């Protein structure tokens, strides 16, 4: 299914007057908005191929219909999102779930949808039917060298696929760890993992980056071998300039101050990118901004301040990706909601009066500093985000248009009700 420009236009025409009124008011409130809108237009959030189907939990799974059955259909799905919001201009593939057979054809298809290939993702947390050794006791950490070798080779293969597609980064998330005290020698697990990462790092093209994710727990429930930002930092520091830490919002212990971590990693030149989602208990993988929108804003507040301080390009110098799981919502609707929440947080962060905040901080005026942030957060910036979409040919209200066009119904018609996307 394709969403024609005319469909979007007629949708926008209907909402235009109300939008213009709100946009005019917002502009009058916040002052100069043109540079903000341009930044919003430029900002793109990659969609992971596995978020297009039902993810779910270890308990029941409740797949919807019309899920993408192939890499081509996944690209089609992201294309639909991008047509609707012009903010999802990249797809992040996962090997072996998305092994392309004809690179050029895939690149052409993505190009038709205006999509780039974001970070490639390897998988050493599951056993594939064709695989010689099992990752039951870990991959890059494994006490058994043959298993480590297999996992290293897999990662290098993923890089190769990515090179063909024009991706420029590899995201390594390791399930490696232990579920019981005594199971692992932490030091040896670290050193094995480091050695393995060094081999993978050596296979990176010069323009590539390696993003090393951390996660406090799950699927191992006693220790994880890259468990927190400090551990990821200690690895990427040893690996070299191309290695950086990737922050997934759902991978922290309760109450962690993620925005401080983001600020410090940026300071160290070791922040590589993000996996956006939201959570209450663990790695719940819910819609971004669905539970803690102020935290999301505070994170963007650090990103904007920190990237500007280093002269970084917001849109290009970090990897932005959603990583969520869908069990009870239509994945495409959920992704539209995630992108909207992220854009809102970003827009709010762009509104922060940096000069005033700096002065308040210098003067330890805590009340004022709080007011400055709350002032930005309490501002209704939805018209700015909508204006960015309007100017780039996307829909004023993506979810409404998605529903109005019965996209899901169309996809079910095309693909069937009982399809099942590859993934978790």
Which 264-323 residues touch a copy of itself, going by CB under 8 A? Answer: 264, 266-268, 279-282, 284, 286-287, 289-294, 298, 301-302, 305-306, 309
Nearer to a copy of itself, 238 or 391 (CB): 238
CA distances from 322 to 11, 25, 332 (A): 26, 31, 12
Nearer to a copy of itself, 166 or 230 (CB): 230
Write the binding mask 73 to 102 for a copy of itself: x where contact by CB under 8 A, - elsewhere.
------------------------------
Tokens 């940096």 locate to 354
Q: How far is the CB of 145 from a copy of itself (least distance, A)?
A: 11
Interface stretch with a copy of itself, choices 4-12, 31-39, 213-221, 388-396 (CB under 8 A):
213-221
User: Which one of residues 45, 106, 373, 394 is an interface residue with a copy of itself (CB under 8 A)?
Assistant: 373
Contact status: 357 vs a copy of itself (CB under 8 A): yes
Contact status: 362 vs a copy of itself (CB under 8 A): yes
Contact status: 20 vs a copy of itself (CB under 8 A): no
Distance CA(47)–CA(321), nearest Å, equals 6
Tokens 């990462």 locate to 197
User: Which one of residues 10, 20, 21, 38 is an interface residue with a copy of itself (CB under 8 A)?
Assistant: 21
Contact status: 103 vs a copy of itself (CB under 8 A): no
Q: How far is the CB of 97 from a copy of itself (least distance, A)?
A: 13
* Near a copy of itself in 42-71, by CB under 8 A: 55-62
Q: How far is the CB of 284 from a copy of itself (least distance, A)?
A: 4
CA distances from 17 to 13, 21, 71, 340 (A): 8, 6, 39, 21
User: Which one of residues 130, 206, 207, 364 is an interface residue with a copy of itself (CB under 8 A)?
Assistant: 364
Helix 382-391 × helix 34-42 angle, to 10°? 70
Answer whether the bond into residue 346 is a cis peptide, omega within 30°.
Answer: no
Distance CA(291)–CA(252), nearest Å, equals 15
User: Which one of residues 41, 217, 307, 412 is an interface residue with a copy of itself (CB under 8 A)?
Assistant: 217
- CB within 8 A of 390, min separation 6: which ones? 12, 19, 396
* Near a copy of itself in 169-198, by CB under 8 A: 175, 178-188, 190-191
Q: How far is the CB of 257 from a copy of itself (least distance, A)?
A: 5
Q: How far is the CB of 111 from a copy of itself (least distance, A)?
A: 30
Nearer to a copy of itself, 155 or 279 (CB): 279
Contact status: 221 vs a copy of itself (CB under 8 A): yes
- Give the helix/strand (H/E) hosting 106: helix 103-112
Q: How far is the CB of 61 from a copy of itself (least distance, A)?
A: 8
Contact status: 22 vs a copy of itself (CB under 8 A): yes
Contact status: 372 vs a copy of itself (CB under 8 A): yes
- Number of residues that make up the chain: 424
Distance CA(124)–CA(130), nearest Å, equals 13
Distance CA(196)–CA(208), nearest Å, equals 18
**H helices present in 134-257, as ranges:** 145-165, 186-202, 229-239
Contact status: 367 vs a copy of itself (CB under 8 A): yes
Secondary structure in 3-state letters for 302-361? HHHHHHHHCCCCCCCCCEEEECCCCCCCCHHHHHHHHHHHHHHHHHHHHHCCHHHHHHHH
Distance CA(336)–CA(84), nearest Å, equals 8
Interface stretch with a copy of itself, choices 89-97, 103-111, 157-165, 352-360 (CB under 8 A):
352-360
User: Which one of residues 9, 25, 269, 317 is an interface residue with a copy of itself (CB under 8 A)?
Assistant: 25
Tokens 């080779």 locate to 153
* Near a copy of itself in 111-170, by CB under 8 A: 125-127, 134-137, 143-144
Distance between first and last Cα of the chain: 25
* Near a copy of itself in 375-404, by CB under 8 A: 377-380, 382, 399
Specify the pairing of strand 223-224 against strand 177-178: antiparallel
């Amino acid at each position: 299914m394709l969403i024609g420009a005319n469909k979007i236009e007629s949708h926008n025409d209907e909402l235009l007057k109300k939008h213009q009124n709100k946009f005019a008011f917002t502009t009058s409130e916040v002052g100069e908005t043109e540079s903000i809108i341009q930044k919003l237009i430029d900002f793109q959030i990659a969609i992971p191929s596995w978020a297009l189907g039902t993810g779910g939990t270890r308990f029941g799974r409740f797949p919807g219909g019309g899920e993408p059955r192939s890499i081509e259909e996944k690209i089609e799905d992201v294309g639909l999102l991008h047509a609707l919001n012009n903010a999802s201009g990249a797809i992040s593939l996962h090997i072996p779930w998305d092994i392309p057979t004809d690179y050029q054809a895939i690149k052409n298809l993505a190009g038709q949808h205006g999509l780039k290939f974001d970070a490639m993702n390897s998988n050493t947390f599951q056993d594939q039917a064709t695989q010689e050794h099992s990752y039951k006791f870990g991959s890059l950490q494994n006490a058994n060298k043959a298993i480590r070798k297999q996992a290293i080779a897999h990662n290098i293969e993923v890089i190769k696929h990515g090179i063909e597609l024009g991706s420029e980064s590899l995201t390594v998330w390791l399930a490696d760890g232990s579920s019981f005290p005594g199971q692992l020698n932490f030091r040896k697990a670290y050193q094995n993992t480091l050695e393995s990462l060094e081999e993978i790092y050596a296979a990176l093209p010069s323009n590539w980056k390696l993003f090393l994710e951390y996660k406090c727990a799950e699927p191992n429930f006693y220790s994880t071998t890259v468990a927190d930002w400090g551990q990821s930092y200690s690895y990427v520091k040893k690996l070299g300039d191309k290695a950086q830490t990737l922050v997934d919002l759902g991978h922290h212990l309760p109450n962690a101050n993620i925005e401080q971590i983001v600020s410090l990693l940026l300071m160290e030149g070791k922040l590589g990118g993000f996996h956006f989602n939201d959570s209450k208990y663990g790695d719940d993988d819910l819609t971004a901004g669905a539970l803690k929108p102020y935290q999301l804003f505070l994170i963007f507040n650090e990103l904007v301040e920190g990237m500007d301080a280093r002269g970084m390009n917001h849109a290009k110098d970090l990897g932005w990706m959603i990583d969520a799981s869908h069990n009870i919502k239509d994945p495409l609707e959920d992704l539209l909601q995630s992108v909207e929440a992220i854009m809102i947080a970003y827009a709010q962060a762009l509104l922060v009066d940096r000069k005033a905040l700096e002065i308040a901080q210098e003067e330890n005026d805590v009340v004022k500093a709080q007011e400055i942030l709350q002032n930005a957060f309490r501002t209704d910036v939805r018209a700015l985000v909508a204006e960015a979409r309007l100017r780039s040919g996307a829909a004023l209200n993506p979810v409404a248009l998605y529903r109005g066009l019965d996209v899901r119904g169309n996809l079910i018609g095309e693909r069937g009700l009982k399809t099942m996307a590859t993934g978790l």
